[in-house]
Structure 1
Amino acid sequence: MNPLRDDHGSARCVPGPADHDPTPVNPTRTRRLCIVGGSTRDPGGVESFCARALEALNTHWTGGEAFWVPADSAHLSAARLPRFLRALHAFRRANRVPIDVLWLNVANLPDLLFVPLAKALGIRVLVTLHLGANSRLQRSGVLRWLSRTLAARADRIALLFDGQDAEIELPANVPRSTIRTFLPPESFAPPREAATGPELRLIHAGRLSEGKGSLAIVDLCAALDRAGIPFTARIIGRGDEALMEALCARIETHGLESRVALSDWLDGPALIAALGGADILVHLSRLDSFPLIVLEAMAAGTIPIAIDMAGVRAMTTAYDGQLVAPDAAVSGAEAWLESNDLADLRRRGAAMGARVREDYSWAACVATLAAAIDATQPAAGA
C-alpha cells in the first residue's frame, strides 16, 4: 500500500497529483494553505513531515484549511520527469479555488520551481528548506546560486531550527520565522516495556543513500562484529538500484547476513514501533542537518548517533545523543558504543523520550507554524 495514501486520520492527505484532484471538498474555509513537497514513490523524512503537518493543521489550526500536493521530485530523471510535471500541473489546477499561501518544503532544486509558479498565480509563498550544509545544493556554487535566486522570490522562509540560517546560504532580503517539526500521533502513545536482552539493537531508517549513511551503518556493524559486541541491526527504507545492490554486497562481504536485516519502508505506527524496538538510531548522514527520523527516534526513547551538524547538535544538546566527526564517523560511533553500558543507554533513552514527547505537542507546533503563515505577506514589488 502506498504509505502516504490512506492512514493519516481525518485529514485530507492527497496521495499524488496523478491520482486525484487535490482541491479540497470544502473550499469555503477562511484561508487555503497548500503544502507542497515530498515524493510518493520514495517516501522518507520530508514526506512524513508533510503528512503530519497536514494532519496537525487540519486538527488544530482554526485559521483555514490545509491540503497537500506531493512534488514527486526525488531522484528526478527523464523517466520520472512526467510525474514532476504532473505535480506542477496539479498545483496550478488546485488554484481553481484560490490558494492563499503555498508552504513549500524543499528537498532539492526542482522543488524550488514551485516558487515562480506560485508567484505567477498571485499566491504568497512560505519556504522551508530541508537542507544542511553538506547537501548538494549547498556544496555546488552553481546550485547554491540557483537555489538562493529562486528562494529569493519567496515571501518568507520558515527555518526548521534556530541557527539553520547560519548553516545554509539563504537570500538576505527574505524575512524568516522559526517553526517546529511534527511528531507522528503514534509517538505520544505510552512507551513499550523496557528491553532487557543482551544484544545492542541498532536501526537506520529513511530514504537510503550513501550520503545519508546507509552504507556506513554496515561498516559500523562490521566493526562491532570484529570487537565481539553482540548486536542486531535493521535497515528500513528504499534507495535506487545501485545503492541497494551496493548495500546487499557490503552486508555479504562482511558476513553479516544473519545480523543485519533489510526492510522496505514502514509507515506510521509500524515505523514508530520499529524505532521503539531499538536502542540506538545510527544516522551517519552528511546531508541532513535536522533529520525528522532523529527526532522520531528520540521520542521513541532511541538514542541517536549522528554526524555533527547544526540541526542534530541542537537536538542532542537539548536532549541526548552522540555526535561524531564526519571524517571518523564509523570509528567514533564504535568507540562510543563500546564505552557505554547497555542498561544505562536504555535508561537514558527512556528519560529522553519522555521529555521529547512532552515538548512536541501538536497544538504547540501548529501555533508556531500558524504565526509564520500569518506573517507571510507579499514581498515589496512582488
Structure 2
Amino acid sequence: MPGSVDDPATPSGGNVYDRRMCRDLPGVGWQVHEHVIAGDWPRPAAAARAELARVLRGSANGAILLLDGLVACAAPDVVVPEAGRLRLAVLVHLPLGEETGLAPGPAAVLDARERTTLRAMAAVVATSRWAADRLVAHHGLRGERVHAAPPGVDIAPLAPGSTPGGGPATVPGTVSGTGSAPRLLCVASVTPRKGQRELVEALSALTDLPWSCVCVGGLEQDPGYVDQVRGLIAEYGLDDRVQLTGPRHGPELNASYAGADLLVLASRAETYGMAVTEALARGVPVLATAVGGLPEAVGRAPDGGVPGALVAPRDPTALAAALRRWLSEPGERHRAKVAARRRRTALAGWESTARSLARALEQLRQEPRPQEAA
C-alpha cells in the first residue's frame, strides 16, 4: 500500500478500502501481512522504488501479493519481472491516466505504465463492474483475469438533516415558514476530477432559493484548484453559503452526513464513489453525475426507484436545473428521500467486498505455483 494510506490529511476512498480489506480479509479465511511503502506515488523517487523491489524480492516463490494500483502500476519495471515468480494481483482504485488535470503527455506515460503492469498480472481487481469492464476494453486484458469487488458500507442511523419531518425547509425572512435552509453536502477531495468548480457555478444560479452547501474534503492535493474554487465562491458572493471545510473524520464526518439533506457529487470521472453509499447508508438522497461507476453506486431501491438523480458531467446548467427541481419541489424531495431510505436496506456491507476479493485471490491460490507452471 502507498504510505499515504494512513495520512489523515489526504483521506480517500482507496485508503478506506485498503484498510478495510486488511481488517476484513482474515474474517473470510485469509492471513494478511501489510507492507506500507512511503513515497510520492504514482511518481516514486528512487528510495520508494527500492523499497518496493525489496518487498517483492523478499517474498517466497509462489507467494500471493495484492498490490494497490497506485504503487504497482507506477513501477512496471520493478513489478513485472517478479510476475513469473510470484502470484501477483493488483487492486485498481482509479486508472492512473484518468486523474483529471494531468497534461496529455504525463497522462499517456502513466497509462502506458499501467497497461504494462496489468497485462503481466495474474489477477486484476476493480472497485466496480463498470471499472472492470473499462480495464478489459482499454488495456486489452483477459476478461477472466479481471474481477469486480465494489466497496461495501456500514449502515448508519438515519440522517435527520435540516428538516426531520421531510417537509419543505425555509430560510426565515426569505420564504415564509420555519426551519432551516436545505443542507447540501459534497464529500470529495477538492480536485478537478471531483468537479467543485462546476458545483459552485451551478449553485450561483440558485441564489433566489434557500440552501447552504458544505464541501468536505482534502485541500492539499491541488492547491491551485482550491484557489480557483475559492475565487469562484467569492466572485459569486457565496461566501456565507458555501464552505470548504477540509477533511473530516470519524464523529465529525458522521455529523456532516447526519445534517445533510442531499449529497451532491459533480465528478468528472469516478470508478465508484464511496461517498454515495455512505450517504445512502444514512437515507440521504444523492444528486450525482452519470459518469463511470457512479450510476452503479447510486443504484436503485428494491422497488426500482432512483434514490436521487443523475445528470451529465461537466454541465453546470444541467446540475443547476436538477438542484432547482429538488430545492423547489417538495414532492421530488420526498420521493428521493423515500427511495434513498429504501435503497439503504439493500446496500452491501464490507463483508461482501471481502468475499469478492477473496474469490479473486482464491483463483490464484488454486493455480500452479509460478515456478512449476513452466
The TM-score range, normalised by the shorter chain, is 0.7 to 0.9
Q: Deviations over 1:210-230 (max 9, x none)?
A: 2221222211221211xx111
- Distance in 2 between residues matched to 1:38 and 1:114, nearest whole Å: 26
Question: For residues 64 and 357 of structure 1, do their structure 2 counterparts lie closer, same or farther at Cα, with a shift above 3 Å needed?
Answer: farther
Could you tell me which residue of structure 1 aligns to residue 313 of structure 2? Answer: 326
Matched, 1:212 2:194: yes
Secondary structure at 1:219's aligned position in 2? helix
Question: Computing the radius of gyration over CA atoms, which structure comes out larger, 1 or 2?
Answer: 2
Could you tell me which residue of structure 2 aligns to residue 67 of structure 1? Answer: 34
Q: Deviations over 1:68-104 (max 9, x none)?
A: 526654584xxxx55x844761673487575933222
Question: For residues 252 and 346 of structure 1, do their structure 2 counterparts lie closer, same or farther at Cα, with a shift above 3 Å needed?
Answer: same
Q: Deviations over 1:12-51 (max 9, x none)?
A: xx9949xxxxxxxxxxxxxxxxxxx786652222112212
Question: For residues 205 and 121 of structure 1, do their structure 2 counterparts lie closer, same or farther at Cα, with a shift above 3 Å needed?
Answer: farther
Question: For residues 315 and 43 of structure 1, do their structure 2 counterparts lie closer, same or farther at Cα, with a shift above 3 Å needed?
Answer: closer
Amino acid at match of 2:129: D
Q: Deviations over 1:190-215 (max 9, x none)?
A: 22435414322112222221222122
Segments of 5+ residues of structure 1 without an aligned counterpart are: 1-13, 18-36
Q: Deviations over 1:325-347 (max 9, x none)?
A: 2342x111211122233465256
Could you tell me which residue of structure 1 aligns to residue 209 of structure 2? Answer: 229
Question: For residues 149 and 15 of structure 1, do their structure 2 counterparts lie closer, same or farther at Cα, with a shift above 3 Å needed?
Answer: closer
- Distance in 2 between residues matched to 1:268 and 1:94, nearest whole Å: 34
Contact 1:203 1:280 in 2 (8 A): yes
Comparing 349-358 and 172-181, the one that deviates more: 349-358
Comparing 37-46 and 244-253, the one that deviates more: 37-46
Could you tell me which residue of structure 1 aligns to residue 284 of structure 2? Answer: 302
Could you tell me which residue of structure 2 aligns to residue 126 of structure 1? Answer: 89
1:52 to 17, 20, 24: 20
1:89 to 36, 51, 70: 51
Question: For residues 336 and 144 of structure 1, do their structure 2 counterparts lie closer, same or farther at Cα, with a shift above 3 Å needed?
Answer: same
Question: For residues 120 and 170 of structure 1, do their structure 2 counterparts lie closer, same or farther at Cα, with a shift above 3 Å needed?
Answer: closer
Comparing 210-219 and 95-104, the one that deviates more: 95-104
Matched, 1:176 2:146: yes
Question: Which residues in structure 2 correspond to 1:96-175 (within 5 Å)?
Answer: 96=58, 98=60, 100-107=63-70, 111=74, 113=76, 116=79, 119=82, 122-131=85-94, 135-136=98-99, 141-168=108-135, 169-173=138-142, 175=145
Amino acid at match of 2:317: S
Segments of 5+ residues of structure 2 without an aligned counterpart are: 164-168, 171-180, 302-306
Q: TM-score, normalised by structure 1?
A: 0.74
Question: For residues 230 and 108 of structure 1, do their structure 2 counterparts lie closer, same or farther at Cα, with a shift above 3 Å needed?
Answer: farther
Q: Deviations over 1:113-148 (max 9, x none)?
A: 497168269432222322369815997555433321
Aligned length: 338
Amino acid at match of 1:193: P
Amino acid at match of 1:130: H
Contact 2:22 2:32 in 1 (8 A): no
Question: For residues 300 and 190 of structure 1, do their structure 2 counterparts lie closer, same or farther at Cα, with a shift above 3 Å needed?
Answer: closer
Matched, 1:188 2:155: yes
Contact 2:91 2:124 in 1 (8 A): yes
Question: Which residues in structure 2 correspond to 1:31-50 (within 5 Å)?
Answer: 42-50=10-18
Contact 1:313 1:323 in 2 (8 A): yes
Secondary structure at 2:120's aligned position in 1? coil
Could you tell me which residue of structure 2 aligns to residue 362 of structure 1? Answer: 350
Report which of the two has the higher share of helix.
2
Contact 2:288 2:311 in 1 (8 A): yes
Matched, 1:337 2:323: yes
Report how far residue 379 of structure 1 moved: 7.1
Identical counterparts, % of pairs: 22
Amino acid at match of 2:216: I
Q: TM-score, normalised by structure 2?
A: 0.76
Question: For residues 233 and 241 of structure 1, do their structure 2 counterparts lie closer, same or farther at Cα, with a shift above 3 Å needed?
Answer: same
Structure 1 residue ranges, 4+ long, deviating more than 6 angstroms after superposition? 37-40, 378-382
2:232 to 214, 226, 250: 250
2:246 to 264, 273, 293: 264
Amino acid at match of 2:209: I
Q: Which has the higher contact order (CA 8 A, sep 6+)?
A: 2
- Distance in 2 between residues matched to 1:133 and 1:167, nearest whole Å: 13
Report how far residue 261 of structure 1 moved: 1.2
Could you tell me which residue of structure 2 aligns to residue 276 of structure 1? Answer: 258
Question: For residues 89 and 70 of structure 1, do their structure 2 counterparts lie closer, same or farther at Cα, with a shift above 3 Å needed?
Answer: closer
1:348 to 336, 339, 342: 336
- Distance in 1 between residues matched to 2:320 and 2:6, nearest whole Å: 33
